[in-house]
């Protein structure tokens, strides 16, 4: 029982350390001049998200990394289309949707712990968090749009032009 308690404290400590960052509002389009639009590149986009006192969420693009290679099919886990999660849309130059994925709400992740009673799931709430997305850049993707899924619609967070 003590071991489970210490493990939970350890996990929560790691999560809190990962959330220690500064953010600012970025609602307009930002450009990333460093991405090559050639075949066989994996692109990693890094973001910070923060919940404001008014309850809205601010997202800031913090970094971009590219590497040669191709993500295997199924290597990116797609979450459910639930309120709170973030919809990521990959767009072509003409605005056509190339693909979509959904990531879990980074401000409210679910922590799983194991104890003598079995598996326990607890929803954590953070004021700030970091998250990333990755995708294959085949040369077709010219921008990436992030939207927060709500019960009735989606709220635009940020659009990154590649």
Q: Which residues contact residue 161 at a Cβ distance below 8 angstroms, ignoring those fewer than 6 apart?
A: 29, 30, 31, 32, 142, 143
Q: Going residue by residue through the chain, which has 162 residues, state the pLDDT in tens, using 9 for 90 and above.
A: 455 555 555 555 554 445 443 333 444 444 444 444 556 899 999 999 999 888 889 999 999 999 998 887 765 667 778 888 999 999 999 999 998 999 999 999 988 888 888 898 898 999 999 999 999 887 889 999 999 999 898 999 999 998
**Model pLDDT, residue 80:** 79
**Model pLDDT, residue 22:** 36
**Model pLDDT, residue 116:** 87
Closest CA to 87 of 30, 148, 160, 44: 148
CATH 2.60.40 fits 24-109+123-161, yes or no: yes
Q: In terms of C-beta density within 10 A (0-12 exposed, 13-18 middle, 19 or more buried), how is residue 97 classed?
A: exposed
**Model pLDDT, residue 31:** 47
* pTM of the predicted model as reported, rounded to 2 decimal places: 0.70
**Model pLDDT, residue 24:** 36
**Model pLDDT, residue 39:** 65
Written as six digits, the tokens of 31 are 């450009």
**Model pLDDT, residue 55:** 83
First-to-final CA distance of the chain: 50
**Model pLDDT, residue 103:** 92
**Model pLDDT, residue 25:** 40
**Model pLDDT, residue 92:** 93
- Per the listing, tokens 């104890």 go with 115
């Amino acid at each position: 029982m003590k071991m489970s308690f210490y493990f939970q404290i350890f996990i929560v400590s790691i999560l809190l350390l990962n959330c220690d960052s500064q953010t600012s509002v970025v609602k307009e389009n930002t450009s990333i001049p460093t991405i090559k639009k050639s075949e066989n590149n994996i692109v990693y986009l890094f973001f910070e998200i923060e919940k404001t006192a008014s309850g809205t969420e601010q997202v800031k693009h913090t970094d971009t990394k590219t590497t040669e290679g191709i993500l295997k099919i199924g290597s990116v886990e797609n979450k459910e289309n639930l309120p709170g999660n973030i919809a990521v849309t990959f767009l072509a130059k003409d605005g056509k949707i190339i693909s979509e994925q959904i990531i879990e709400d980074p401000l409210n992740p679910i922590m799983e712990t194991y104890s003598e009673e079995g598996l326990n799931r607890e929803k954590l709430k953070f004021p700030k968090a970091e998250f990333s997305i990755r995708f294959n850049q085949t040369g077709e993707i010219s921008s990436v749009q992030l939207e927060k899924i709500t019960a009735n619609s989606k709220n635009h967070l940020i659009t990154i032009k590649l």
